[in-house]
Structure 1
Amino acid sequence: MANRYLAYHFILNSLFSFSHWSSIVSDDVSLRALSLIHYFPFYLLNTPFLYFYVRAILTEKKIIRGWDYLHFIPFILIVVNILPYSFHSWAFKLDLSEKIHQNSRAIYQVYFPLVSFSFYFIFRSVISFCYLVFASLILHKAIQQGKLKSALVLKKWLQVYLILGLIFNLSLIAFSTHSYFVNDFMIVLMEQGRGRSVASIIMFGLMVSIYFFPSVLYGLQEKSGESLLDVIKLNEEIATTSKTFELNKLRLTQVEKQLEVYLAEKKFLIPGFAMSDLVKDISTPEHVLTYYFNNYKGITFLKWKNQLRIEEAVNLLKAGEAETNTLESVGKACGYKSRSNFIQAFKAQTGESPSVYLKKLS
């Protein structure tokens, strides 16, 4: 599902690039009439889908549900806003697009019932900037928690991509605001190329950045020192294995037995314990463990680790550990670096805080 969000994001970015080129650069009046205003709502979806992608791969929230649909309100609002233009005749759109191509101020002849063109043009970039900030905060938190220790390529690409996205939208905000105040509170789209060139270069960088990270683009499993052909061969083997149910079942049963023995050592209680540690300790490829947790057990590695740690914490509380030590020390004994993380994980699994649970035991 996460990869679908990323695909939607790039499709929408491509649509924006095409519409931008059609509206401003192209001499084809039909393309300009088709792209000029109709693409407005779709611009408001590209960064939300990037945010959903980052959230899906770095947190427990994998799918869009419930309150998440509120993220689509700006899109719906702008769809309603451009309906008067959409219902105009094709001849009207051709004529208007030619006028706007000659003088961008002509766009203010279009009736927008809910949101003015200037407001939309500036705040679409503000909204996108906010989503990129939220995605960056999720990434920063994941890095602090050590979730990306075994996914350095993904970490580097996300850092590069989010930084470029923030710069891109900041440049659009600066360009739009400057244009608004120096042109009698109107945004002029063709200011002799100023602003647009910078934004276009950064957009190009965004679009091509992922091609420098094939493991993210194609989901490849790779190790340092491997050639691209070795990586592709390995992933073809993984794909073949995943289609063979009997082989998968045998391999997954082996992994389960390995984990049963491994759990006796309780290394999951070590602070900072990550998937990379498990890969190394039981000599099992990460893609096998990921498939085991996500597809066979129906649980993420992070949730599996937290369940084991909270089970240990419950045992310590029942054994009277909290009578001689603080709840904070119990949390640290179970691998949590801070009291708040321990309480949050405990409540997520048991439905109540450690202190409430402890009271019930007394």
Structure 2
Amino acid sequence: MEQVEIGRFYLYWTENNIISCMGIIFPLFGIFTSFLLIYYFSSLNKSNGYLALFFLICNWIVLIYFGLHYTKDPFWEGICFVHWLPLSYLVGPCLFYYVKTTISGNHKLDKVDFLHLLPAILVGINCLPFTLLPFNDKAKIAHEIINVTEKYDLDFLFISFGSILISRTLHLLFYCILSIGYFVIYSKRTKDQIGILSTNHTMLKRWIYLLCAIQVIISSNSFLHMLTVVGIRFDFESESYAQIFTSKNHYFGIAGGGFFLQNIFLFLFPKILFGNISYNPAKQNLLNDFKSIIPKKRNQIENDPEIDIEITYYLESNPYLRKDFSLAQMAFDLKITERDLSYYFNVKQQTTFSQWRKKHRINYAIEQLNLGVSQKFTLEAVSSSAGFASRSKFIDAFKEQVGVTPSKYIKSLENK
């Protein structure tokens, strides 16, 4: 009998230590990953800012859930209860912002994009009757609900506690579908307009699909768990269903494990982690991907014949057509320091990088106009396909290089 009790104690101790490890170390590792993304956040890929925020919120939510359900401390329960609910409504928008800015190359959000933050704001306002209570009162209420009654009923303004718990999972699931849909539609539109996709497209597709798949698993599991939390039962509900989805350990294992795995998977995509979306043919060797971030040492770069060959090969994929193409990106892809590459343009080419990029974009636009694309697409579509951020900038650059506006150039082609 004593051995049985010791065995039960051992299992209890082991299970709780595993949960403590997952609840503290795993999200801390994820938060560290978020700061890695911010550390490598540069002009190479500013979309990583949204990805870092996405990772930070995900792992912070795991810490909150651990503090709420496993510390058994009224102080931490009071801190973690309700106050952070709006965060759950930011996970989906951050994922969508990351996908949108990455695939479109435009890192600035439109005014309409800020509407995605509206649910989080409404939930924050809705919870004000509770959040404005004295802390001691909040701690007592939290402890009572979590450890005694398990009835998630509170006086909110216009949305019930149960509705928030369920809708936040559906909210995340919606944004997973929206993100994948945007990726597919924008990729098809780009292919139709330009005729090609960047060589990093397959890698991006795998990463985004993997990220969304993890969120679908987490949100689906969370949805079923929250139904049991708010007391919704099904007539066909089996005993095994009830045992699985009423278990906090099961929910925490799926959610915490899923968020932890996405932190690990990020390191399998080093070009995402380091902010480099290369335009060179994708390498299948993971070690080569890590090596690609190390610049080569160059001596007398203005007399280096290899750099001309490398740039000629590099330009075959038309990297300058991407709106966010920069000196930093080109230096990263060619494994040359920005200083050396800038020196190359200034000394050997007798121009600046900006002027060089503009020249190639206009030459590309001229080729497209000569092929008659103006009969199928608008001038704005042509300017966008050439990498220009706006129609006006395209017109100014075109007139500066060619001597006439694009419209006059098109008319001259029609008169031939």
Q: TM-score range by the shorter chain?
A: 0.5 to 0.7
Q: Does 1:137 align with 2:181?
A: yes
Instruction: Work out which structure has the larger RCO, using CA pairs closer than 8 Å and 6 or more positions apart in sequence.
Output: 2
| 8 Å Cα contact 2:57/2:87 also seen in 1 | yes
Structure 1 equivalent of residue 354 of structure 2: 297
Aligned with 1:2 (options 41, 44, 47): 47
Q: Does 1:216 align with 2:272?
A: yes
Secondary structure (helix, strand or coil) at the match of 1:69 reads helix
Structure 2 equivalent of residue 107 of structure 1: 152
Q: Does 1:193 align with 2:238?
A: no
CA distance in 2, matches of 1:308, 1:85: 62
Q: CA deviation at 1:70?
A: 1.5
Structure 2 equivalent of residue 169 of structure 1: 219
Structure 2 equivalent of residue 71 of structure 1: 116
| 8 Å Cα contact 2:152/2:162 also seen in 1 | no
Root-mean-square deviation over aligned CA pairs: 4.8
Q: CA deviation at 1:275?
A: 4.1
Aligned with 2:100 (options 55, 71, 75): 55
Structure 1 equivalent of residue 295 of structure 2: 237
| 8 Å Cα contact 1:306/1:345 also seen in 2 | no
My pick for the range that moved more, 69-78 or 166-175, is: 166-175
CA distance in 1, matches of 2:136, 2:361: 62
Sort the Cα spacing of 1:121 and 1:227 in 2 relative to 1 into closer, same or farther, 3 A.
closer
Deviations 1:71-129, CA, capped at 9 Å, x for gaps: 21112111112222222112112211211221354431x22103211221121122222
| 8 Å Cα contact 1:44/1:74 also seen in 2 | yes
Aligned with 2:366 (options 303, 311, 325): 311
Structure 2 equivalent of residue 45 of structure 1: 90
Secondary structure (helix, strand or coil) at the match of 2:182 reads helix
CA distance in 2, matches of 1:2, 1:232: 20
Secondary structure (helix, strand or coil) at the match of 1:166 reads helix
Q: Does 1:120 align with 2:177?
A: no
Structure 2 equivalent of residue 322 of structure 1: none
| 8 Å Cα contact 1:41/1:75 also seen in 2 | yes
Sort the Cα spacing of 1:309 and 1:277 in 2 relative to 1 into closer, same or farther, 3 A.
closer
| 8 Å Cα contact 1:99/1:106 also seen in 2 | no
TM-score with structure 2 setting the length: 0.59
Q: Does 1:287 align with 2:333?
A: yes
CA distance in 1, matches of 2:359, 2:141: 59
Give the share of equivalent positions with the same residue, in percent: 16
TM-score with structure 1 setting the length: 0.66
For 2:367, the aligned partner's letter is: E
| 8 Å Cα contact 1:129/1:169 also seen in 2 | yes
Sort the Cα spacing of 1:149 and 1:112 in 2 relative to 1 into closer, same or farther, 3 A.
same
Sort the Cα spacing of 1:19 and 1:298 in 2 relative to 1 into closer, same or farther, 3 A.
farther
CA distance in 1, matches of 2:86, 2:178: 21
Length, aligned pairs only: 310
Deviations 1:106-156, CA, capped at 9 Å, x for gaps: 431x22103211221121122222222221123324555353523544432
Q: CA deviation at 1:177?
A: 3.9
Sort the Cα spacing of 1:314 and 1:211 in 2 relative to 1 into closer, same or farther, 3 A.
closer
For 2:171, the aligned partner's letter is: I
Structure 1 equivalent of residue 77 of structure 2: 32
Sort the Cα spacing of 1:275 and 1:61 in 2 relative to 1 into closer, same or farther, 3 A.
closer
Sort the Cα spacing of 1:8 and 1:60 in 2 relative to 1 into closer, same or farther, 3 A.
same
Aligned with 2:134 (options 62, 82, 89): 89
| 8 Å Cα contact 1:126/1:173 also seen in 2 | yes
| 8 Å Cα contact 1:153/1:216 also seen in 2 | no
| 8 Å Cα contact 1:275/1:286 also seen in 2 | no
My pick for the range that moved more, 112-121 or 148-157, is: 148-157
Aligned with 1:345 (options 363, 377, 381): 381
Sort the Cα spacing of 1:208 and 1:29 in 2 relative to 1 into closer, same or farther, 3 A.
farther
CA distance in 2, matches of 1:307, 1:115: 54
Q: CA deviation at 1:7?
A: 0.8
For 2:246, the aligned partner's letter is: E
For 2:225, the aligned partner's letter is: F
Q: Which runs of 5+ in 1 are unaligned?
A: 268-272, 279-283, 317-329
Secondary structure (helix, strand or coil) at the match of 1:182 reads coil
Sort the Cα spacing of 1:104 and 1:64 in 2 relative to 1 into closer, same or farther, 3 A.
farther
| 8 Å Cα contact 1:47/1:132 also seen in 2 | yes
Structure 1 equivalent of residue 398 of structure 2: none
Structure 2 equivalent of residue 324 of structure 1: none
CA distance in 2, matches of 1:92, 1:42: 23
Q: CA deviation at 1:307?
A: 5.8
Sort the Cα spacing of 1:179 and 1:250 in 2 relative to 1 into closer, same or farther, 3 A.
farther
Sort the Cα spacing of 1:128 and 1:262 in 2 relative to 1 into closer, same or farther, 3 A.
closer
Sort the Cα spacing of 1:133 and 1:307 in 2 relative to 1 into closer, same or farther, 3 A.
farther
Q: CA deviation at 1:218?
A: 2.6
Secondary structure (helix, strand or coil) at the match of 1:37 reads coil
For 2:169, the aligned partner's letter is: S
